[in-house]
Amino acid sequence: MHSKIPHTQPDTPLLDLIDNPSELKTLKQSQLPELAEQLRAFLLYTVGQTGGHFGGGLGVVELTIALHYLLDTPRDHLIWDVGHQSYPHKILTGRKRAMLSIRQLRGLHPFPDRNESQYDDFGTGHSSTSISAALGMCIADRLNQLPHRSVAVIGDGALTAGMAFEALNHASHVDANLLVILNDNDMSISANEGGLANYLASQLKTKIATEANAALFEALAFDYTGPIDGHDLNSLIPALETILAKSGPQFLHIITTKGKGFYPAESDPVGYHAITKIEPLADDQVDELPVTVQAKRKTFANIFGQWMVQRAAFDPKLVAITPAMKEGSDLVEFAREFPQRFFDVAIAEQHALTFAAGLACAEIKPVVAIYSTFLQRGYDQYIHDIAIQNLPVILAVDRAGLVGQDGATHAGCYDIAALRCIPNTVIMTPSDEQELWLALNSASECPGPVAIRYPRGFGSCEAVDKNSDCIEIGQAKVLRRGNSKMALLNFGPLLQDASYVAEDYDLTLVDMRFVKPLDEALLTELAVDHQHFFTLEDHAIAAGAGSAVSQFLADKLVTFTHLGIPDTLIPHGTREQQLKICGLDEQGIAQAVERKLQGF
């Protein structure tokens, strides 16, 4: 059991012999437990150097070894749901020497990526997709008369999503030779919630565990095996050998510990789901654990969480809903202070939105805290159940825009484009933490649906006036009047850099605050004495806020430069690197102004 993350690379002589699964197969089965220990030590070291997803990978070391030992990958298909736990898989499939580049610009992807390796059968990042994808590959092999196996590894957290059950139902219907492995560690990112999680947990230590769990999955025509210890290779390998020799839908239920082998992560699986990198030690420093939560000024999410607690204290109708993101959305204090008004619906974004609609119909005031990238999964429910019925549901759209090291699967680049075409929708883009507080105040008074998008991390405001009031819906804010016949219209958290550029080039600067409704009166006024408009947003240019401005001013004699995320996938790296790639940092904004001035 490890209690510290090593600062220097550990000796891993057995692991050093393995660069691909064919080399793994040359080992004796008796050597595999030692390989697991060395793989776990190497994983601790590399994640300590780079930061990244942590607990999930430690929990599937033995499973990863067993699967690659027995399967004929990459001809057999192995799909890791979500992908948080794929680091051991990457290490055993030729990427061990590149692990120190993970999550960095031009380095290894933080999740499985089909462009990175032939062993990554399917790109994952969002949960609950693995069974559907593996089933598709299984049926394709049947159509192509190929004998390959398809295996989906899914956690008990991801199994709460309806999509997983849709796939299980279909697999039984087509009698697929599919193996689904339930990695049951009683966790997703947060602790699991819901009836299924409670059912699995309650059955594990009873005498009738096998019969009860088998009944659940065999009702879907799966041949159930388990539960077995997912860390015991002497049990795991024979069980897999037996299952892989069978035909038809198979279900293996294994019990693992998230963060296995690292005492702090086993004790705090939420805090050690992912970690920041550890800094090198000075000669006089004591070796300490990495800081998982740094004591800094408040993030946008922190301000949202504080607003929720303050507002709920005097508004008994206010409730919070999250699809398994209590910690990330900073609703921990709300859940503690108002447990009867906090609802973690597990990884079930579609249900979260329609559940909110039902609450709103009964005069409750629901706030759905959801990441932009996961809001995509509830798009139909937003249109059909919230917007069409014009229900007062607030969407707190966290992680909007570029998010850094998690890459394209987690970037929140499309929410404005998705929502602004929908009637009854108000879209707010606060530029800093103070503006977020004002936006939340205003949204709480709206009679219909409101989406407030804000980024990961910090803005430019160091102190928030929590006694501030509301802003008028659709009202922008002119920050400076320039004399250059050019106006810079800002939507969201890039305002500080925009202000520097506006000052340098004597531009009119407007914090638009709203994508929908736009401040049409102000835009009409500005179009009288401005010839060119720059729009700035941390969102895709295509169908974004800038396009809303140009559509409104289409009959005016003005021209436009839209600054935002181009029509391509932005590689993982730091958020600052991503903004620079997109020309959304101060230098990039200034260069866009310079280019326009040269031909103006």
The amino acid at 590: A
- Percent of the chain at pLDDT exceeding 90: 80
pLDDT in tens, 56-90: 899 999 999 999 999 999 999 999 998 889 999 99
**Residue 258 appears among annotated catalytic residues:** yes
The one catalytic residue in 349, 433, 435, 537 is 349
DSSP string of 15-78, one letter each residue: GGG-SSHHHHTTS-GGGHHHHHHHHHHHHHHHHHHH-EE-HHHHHTHHHHHHHHHHS-TTTSEE
CA distances, 382 to each of 36, 153, 378, 424, 429 (Å): 45, 30, 6, 11, 19
- Contact yes or no for 233/62 (Cβ under 8 A): yes
Q: What band does 220 get if pLDDT is binned at 50, 70 and 90?
A: confident
Torsion angles phi and psi, residue 159, rounded to 5: -70, -10
Average pLDDT, the chain: 91
Burial 18-37 (b: 16+ CB within 10 A, else e): bbbbeebeebeeeebeebbb
The one catalytic residue in 258, 453, 456, 516 is 258
| Whole-number Å distance between alpha carbons of 371 and 130 | 21
Residue 118: both structure tokens together: 């032939």
The amino acid at 255: I
What integer is the mean pLDDT of 41-46?
A: 94
- Contact yes or no for 187/269 (Cβ under 8 A): yes
Q: What band does 414 get if pLDDT is binned at 50, 70 and 90?
A: very high
- Between 161-165, 191-195, 584-588, the lowest mean confidence (pLDDT) is in 191-195
DSSP string of 228-295, one letter each residue: EETT-HHHHHHHHHHHHTS-S-EEEEEE--TTTTBHHHHH-TTTTSEEPPPPPPPTTPPP-PPPSS--
- Which is nearest to 325 in space by CA: 157, 538, 79, 539? 157
CA distances, 553 to each of 52, 526, 559 (Å): 45, 10, 9
Report whether pLDDT(587) > 50: yes
Higher pLDDT, 271 or 226: 226
CA distances, 377 to each of 123, 385, 418, 492 (Å): 16, 14, 11, 23
pLDDT value, residue 78: 97
What integer is the mean pLDDT of 368-375?
A: 98
Q: What band does 291 get if pLDDT is binned at 50, 70 and 90?
A: very low
pLDDT value, residue 10: 93
- Percent of the chain at pLDDT exceeding 70: 92
pLDDT in tens, 434-468: 999 999 999 999 999 999 999 999 988 888 999 99
Q: What band does 347 get if pLDDT is binned at 50, 70 and 90?
A: very high
pLDDT value, residue 270: 75
Report whether pLDDT(37) > 70: yes
Query: Which residue blocks in 119-208 are alpha helix, DSSP H?
Result: 130-143, 162-173, 195-203
Structural domains of the chain ordered from first start: 15-275 (3.40.50.970), 300-453 (3.40.50.970), 477-598 (3.40.50.920)
The one catalytic residue in 149, 260, 298, 377 is 377
| Whole-number Å distance between alpha carbons of 129 and 135 | 10
Residue 532: both structure tokens together: 């060119």
Report whether pLDDT(40) > 80: yes
DSSP string of 538-558, one letter each residue: EEESTTSHHHHHHHHTTTSS-
- Between 379-383, 406-410, 496-500, the lowest mean confidence (pLDDT) is in 406-410
CA distances, 439 to each of 36, 356, 446 (Å): 50, 20, 11
Report whether pLDDT(284) > 50: no
pLDDT value, residue 334: 98
DSSP state of 412: B
What integer is the mean pLDDT of 524-529?
A: 97
Bridge-based pairing state of the strands 318-322 and 559-565? unpaired
Quote the pTM value. Answer: 0.90
* Polymer length in residues for the chain: 600
- Contact yes or no for 356/368 (Cβ under 8 A): yes
What Rg value do the Cα atoms of the chain yield, rounded?
Answer: 26
Q: Is the dihedral of CA 222, 257, 235, 121 positive or negative?
A: positive
CA distances, 154 to each of 134, 347, 423, 577 (Å): 11, 13, 37, 32
pLDDT value, residue 52: 82
pLDDT value, residue 199: 60
Q: Is the dihedral of CA 586, 588, 594, 597 positive or negative?
A: negative
Higher pLDDT, 49 or 525: 525
Looking up tokens 């989406």, which residue turns up? 451
pLDDT value, residue 1: 72
- Contact yes or no for 94/117 (Cβ under 8 A): yes
**Residue 377 appears among annotated catalytic residues:** yes
